[in-house]
Structures are given as C-alpha cells and as structure tokens.
Amino acid sequence: MAKKDTELEPEFLPSPLNNPMINYKVYYMSMGEKIGAFMLTMLLGGFVGLVFYGGLFKDGNDATMATTISNTVVFLLIGGLATKVFMPAVRTKLLMKRKKALRKQFMDLLEILSASLSSGNTVNDAFISAKTDLRNQYSEKEYIIVELNEIVSGLANGKSLEEMIIAFGVRSDNEDIENFGNVISNCYRLGGDFKDVIVRTRSILGDKVAIEDEIQTKLASNKLQLNAMCVMPIGLVAMLKFTNQSFARNLATGIGVAVTTFAVAIFVGSYFWGQKITDIK
C-alpha cells in the first residue's frame, strides 16, 4: 500500500502564498482508515473464502489437521487478495465522498456570497464576511473554511482574488469551481457585474446538482439490487454448506473446487461490471 501511495500525485500543492494546500485529485488514507479498511476487507474476504473453499480434506464429517491448515491458508490468501482488490475501491469511495462534501460546501459559499453582494459589499469584503458566516455552519477543519482562510490571507497579503480562486479551482479537481475561477478572472479582466455573475453561477450550479441528485436517486434502487445480488450467492452457499453435509462434501471435491473457482471469477467480474454500469456521471 505504501508503494501505491508513492505513485499518486502529491497530497498537498502550494498555494499562491506557497502554503501546502489539499490536492483534491488524490486521497491519501490516514493510518486509522488504512487499518480499518484492511481489517474489514481481510475479514470479509477471509469469510467468503471459507464459505467457498473451507472444509477441505475432511475425514467424512470430521475435520483433520489438514482441514485446519487449509482453512487458515484459505482465510489468509483470499482475505489478502480481497484487500489487494478492494482497497483501491475504498480509496476511490473516500475520494468521491470528499469531493461531494467540497461541492456542497462550495454551493453554500456561493449562496452566502450572493446574499453578501446583494447587501452592497464589495467582492473582497463578501469573501471575508462569508468566512465568518460559514464558521457558524462548519468547523475550522472543514474544506471550505480552510480554503476561505487561505483566500482571505492571500487578499491581505497582496494576492488578487482571481489568482487565489483559480489556484483553488485547479486543486479542487471540480469543473464547477474551475469554471467559477475562470468567470471571476474574466470579470476582472473584461469588467462585469460580480453580483449578477455569482447569482447566475449559483443558479446554474444549483440546477446541475439537482439533476445529478435526481439521477442518483433513480439509480439508488438499481444499486441496492446489485448489492443484494452480490450478497445472495454467498449467503445461499453458506446456508447450504452449513445445513447440508452432502452439499459441503461435494463442494470440497476437486470438481467442486474447480466449479467454485469458475463461479467466483464470474461473481467478482459481475460485481465490477455492475459497478461500472451504475456509475453514471
């Protein structure tokens, strides 16, 4: 896992003030997240391995020393393979969760900026007051507060709002934030009504988010069905194996192991295929 981390982009990128800021394109799991994800995937993978491959080398219905050894090997081997296969998926889920949180917080920022500009504040003052308002909603560790602190510090140290927002947009890996930075840049260079631009941007992005949420709501039942279909074969085999001795003995034969391996390969392939089908942007 450590080698994988070194192949990613840097976790932090320098801001215009040369401070290290989050690179939202990648996600570096904390030690606690790594341990938690490793243990979960190891246990689940090991359990599934025992369901399909446990109980080999029995003497009739009695477990032998070879059975105990094989069960241990299966648990560790399949569990380790599961961590190798699913840890990147866990990282991706955490990355998407962070991006979703950043987008929501950015939408809240636009809403506060719109209200602040409507009350007559300048653009710079609107960002400064937005930081104060958002602190009532989010903690200091939340992404938008960290970014606003950097933006306000940049303004206080002679950096332009255009420069700070564009840098934030590049790091955010969010098309909406990048576009917002470009809009701010065009307003500075070509002249424009900041209030109107931010209100329109908030409205357009709000419609976009609403459409995306509607798509995800309609896909929710399909994703639930996919997860249920992935769990059902494991539960069915486990029930038959632990309640039917003849089924368990047939599953432990050479032909049973070969058929099981073929079925598990189809099962894993179908899971990833289903995830790809339901991943609609």
Strand bridging mode 20-22 / 12-14: antiparallel
Q: What is the pTM of this model?
A: 0.82
- Beta-carbon contacts of 264 under 8 Å, excluding residues fewer than 6 positions away, are 52
| 119 DSSP 8-state letter | T
- pLDDT per residue, tens digit, the chain (281 aa), is 444 444 568 999 999 999 999 999 999 999 999 999 999 999 999 999 999 998 888 877 788 899 899 999 999 999 999 999 889 989 999 999 999 999 999 999 998 998 888 888 888 888 989 988 999 999 999 999 999 999 999 999 999 888 999 999 999 999 889 988 888 888 877 776 777 888 888 888 888 888 888 888 888 888 888 888 888 888 888 888 888 888 888 888 889 889 888 988 888 888 888 888 877 76
CB atoms within 10 A of CB 204: 12
- Total number of domains in the chain: 1
Q: For residues 213 and 206, give the distance between their C-alpha atoms in angstroms, rounded to a whole number.
A: 10
The answer to whether 138 touches 156, Cβ cutoff 8 Å, is no
Q: Residue 224 is encoded by which pair of tokens?
A: 């639930």
Q: For residues 209 and 212, give the distance between their C-alpha atoms in angstroms, rounded to a whole number.
A: 5
> What residue numbers bound the domain in which 270 lies?
2-278
| 259 DSSP 8-state letter | H
